[in-house]
Structures are given as C-alpha cells and as structure tokens.
Amino acid sequence: MRLNKSVSILGAFALAACATSSIQENTGLLPALRAAGLCETDNAAISIEHATANVSDCRVVSDTSLELMIRPENTPINDSPWYGFRVDPKIPGILDITLSYEGGTHRYHPKVSYDGRSWDWLAQTQIDVDEDNGQTASIRLNLGQRPFFVSAQEIFTSEKHDRWARKLAERSDTTLSEIGRSHDGHPLLMLEVETEPDTEKPYVMWVGRQHPPEVTGALFLISFTETILGDSGLSQKFLNRFNLLIVPNMNPDGVTAGFWRHNKGGIDLNRDWGPFTQPETQAVRSALERFETGEDRIALFLDFHSTKRNLLYTQTDEEPASPPMFARDWAEAVDERLDDEVYSFTREPRPMSARAISKNYMYKNYGIAAITFEVGDATDRDAVREGAIVFAEEMMKIMIRAEESR
C-alpha cells in the first residue's frame, strides 16, 4: 500500500511502547499505538495500524479538518470502497473528515466503535454524501478523551474468523483442517462436521468472505452455522443425515488489508472457480477432490456474500438440479416464516453462464443446487441473525425431506 507520509507530522505523534495494536477483545480497551499515525491535525491523529484498516492517503486541510483518499487495490474493480481508520483525539472538539473516493462511490455508512466490538452507526446529521456523484462523503466526528475506530463495516478480522472456527472445532464431531495457505501465508481453514464418521453421508458445503468488505455475509454465515450446530431436534436429525464442510474465510489477506474486492494476487476470487489460479481457490478445489473421485457425495452448496440488499442468486426453475426445486422451495418456506419488516429478500434465478463464479462451477460439476447468498450491507444486524436462523432451519427441513425421498 502506498502511503504519502509526507503529509503527516511523524515526530509529534505520541508513540507508546505497547506490545500490540490489534483489538484487545478481552479488555475492550484500545491499546496504545505502536507506530506513527497516517496524519494529524491540531486536535486528532489518524492511523491505519489495525487489521482491516485501509486509507490510501491523507491531506490536512485545516487545524480541525482533513481529507482521506480511498483508493482500490486494483482496477477495474467493483464499486465497494472499503475504508477503516483509527482516531486518537488530542483535545476534545470536532474533527471534520472528507472521504474522497477514487474509482468508486460512497457505499458503506460509517460505523464507530471505541472497543472494536460494539458499533454505532454515525448519526445521519454527521454525514453528508455528495448527491451528484457520490465521490465524497463529509463526516463530522466528535472528539472526546478516548480513541475510536471508524470503519466501513464492523471490524471482522481474519483472526476473529479463525478463533470462531477453532472454537467450533472443540466439538467432538468437528475437525478443523488447513486446506492451504493464502498468498501471504495465512492458513485457509475448513471445518468438517460428521457426527458418525463410520456412516456414509452426503455433504452440505458453504464458503464465505471471498470479498473482504462483505461483513454482513460473514455475520449471516456464523448465525446460520451455529443454528445448524445447535442442540435442536431438527439439527440432530439433519446431522444424522448430512455431513458439513465449511470454509468461513476464503480471502484472509484481503480482509486484513482492507481490500475492496480482490485477493493479494489481484484477482476477484469469485471469478476464479474454474481457472483456479489462486492459492485460495486452489485450496477449496483440493477440498472438493473427494467429490470428484466419487468417494463422497455433495448435496448442496452455498456461498455467502453481501450486496446492497438481501437476495439469493439461484438456478432457474428450468435448470434441473438436485434436490429438485430446492431454491424455490427454500425461498418460499422462509418467506412464509420471515416478516418482510424484519428480513425481506428476493430470489433471483440466473441461468448458468460462462462466468467463473462458485455458483456456476458447483452447479455445472455436481448438478446440485448452488446458491450465491447475498446479505444486504445495511441489513439490521439483529435481522441478519434472525434471518440466518430461519434460513438454516428451513434448509435443514427441505434437505431432510429430499434425502428421505431419494
């Protein structure tokens, strides 16, 4: 990442010899910064030391205002400008920041957190997005005593993904394996759940976080998974019938770097299912080998993402898939139960195309229902959890029925 340090007054920035600048999950306190900030005004300093932080440049405009340049890691790229930075106040007051997007337009409403765990949306009165072209967003921050984070979406690091996976792997029926390493050497982790290893069962598989900013998809995946691994009778019945393969975070480097879309190889991973040119997609392909040899059978595939609203990209009803009409039945069953006020969504069938996305690859190779599951960027987070529970329960019911009638 290219940083123009010339704009910052490096020497003046308070440096403290603290061991880490990562978020301290335990104490909820921000540790002191370990390195110099990106830039500073008279009343605050901006830094991008923490995982997921990303700002390309900083320009000090006045004693209390500055401009942050938000640039993509690559071009061409989707319009999903991620940003993240930390503010260390020096004196209480107001800090005005202009977010200037290059190669993109404002998409993510800023979230603010003092501890990296609980997040508040910046008040509407504190943000002004350029109406004409969306290329700038002016935000006004209140400076108190404590440092805080400003981020496009909640900070959800690769380390947090890994901790979650390790925690699940404490279950006696779950194993965690490293199926490869990312460009930067981060382990690519896969969970396998099999309640009876000696019994042959088909697999349901899902993956997530191919695209770094898609935090709501990650939150959905977590609640979805935890519902299926819960202690309900439905879960037990489902896991008596099916094994699971879960790759929660396919793009750990992009997540850490605060990328808009790509991996460290400069590739959109969800355009690489087929070519498999990247270590991250190669790792997943190696996990699929068991299905190619016929050793195991895969019954359903889901790929969790985020976009501007809640929707499912599925096969069309004319495309034969197994289980038959799964996508239609799933969407209908969930729609029956979920209040539109809470979680409204659409099902958008898209016929197979030449695009090297996971949905096409999995449908083409295995003839199964393969769904790109998109969660809205701004969907209420409680609604994400509620939606995930209902989608998980209805998926289990349909899959059990389908397997019973095979």
Least Å distance, CB 305 to Zn ion, is 3
Q: Which is nearer to Zn ion, 242 or 259 (CB)?
A: 259
**Buried b vs exposed e over 323-354: b needs ≥16 C-beta within 10 Å?**
beebbbbbbebbbeebeeeebbbebeeeeeee
From CA 178, how far away is CA 160, in angstroms rounded? Answer: 16
Q: Whose Cβ is closer to Zn ion: residue 214's or residue 393's? A: 214
* C-alpha radius of gyration, the chain, whole number: 22
How many residues bind Zn ion, per CB under 5 A? Answer: 3
- What is residue 292's three-state secondary structure? helix
Which two structure tokens, joined as six digits, stand for 235?
Answer: 């879960």
User: Given candidates 111, 186, 211, 264, which one binds Zn ion under the rule CB under 5 A?
Assistant: 211
305 binds Zn ion (CB under 5 A): yes
What kind and span of H or E run contains 331? helix 326-337
- Show the binding pattern over residues 90-129: x = contacts Zn ion (CB under 5 A), - = does not: ----------------------------------------
List of residues 6+ apart from 244 with CB closer than 8 A: 191, 192, 193, 194, 203, 204, 205, 206, 228
Instruction: Confirm or reject binding of residue 241 to Zn ion (CB under 5 A).
Output: no
| 251/315 with CB nearer Zn ion | 251
- Interface with Zn ion by CB under 5 A: which range of 183-191, 213-221, 332-340, 391-399? 213-221
Choose between 111 and 211: whose C-beta lies nearer to Zn ion. Answer: 211
CA distances in angstroms from 166 to 112, 191, 220, 358, 389, listed in the order given: 28, 9, 18, 25, 21
Report the nearest approach of Zn ion to the CB of residue 214 (Å). 5
**Listed residue (135, 179, 360) closest to 281, CA to CA:** 179
- Here's the x/- map for Zn ion, 256-295, by CB under 5 A: it reads as ----------------------------------------
Stretch that binds Zn ion, among 64-72, 95-103, 224-232, 303-311 (CB under 5 A): 303-311
Q: Which residue ranges make up the site for Zn ion (CB under 5 A)? A: 211, 214, 305
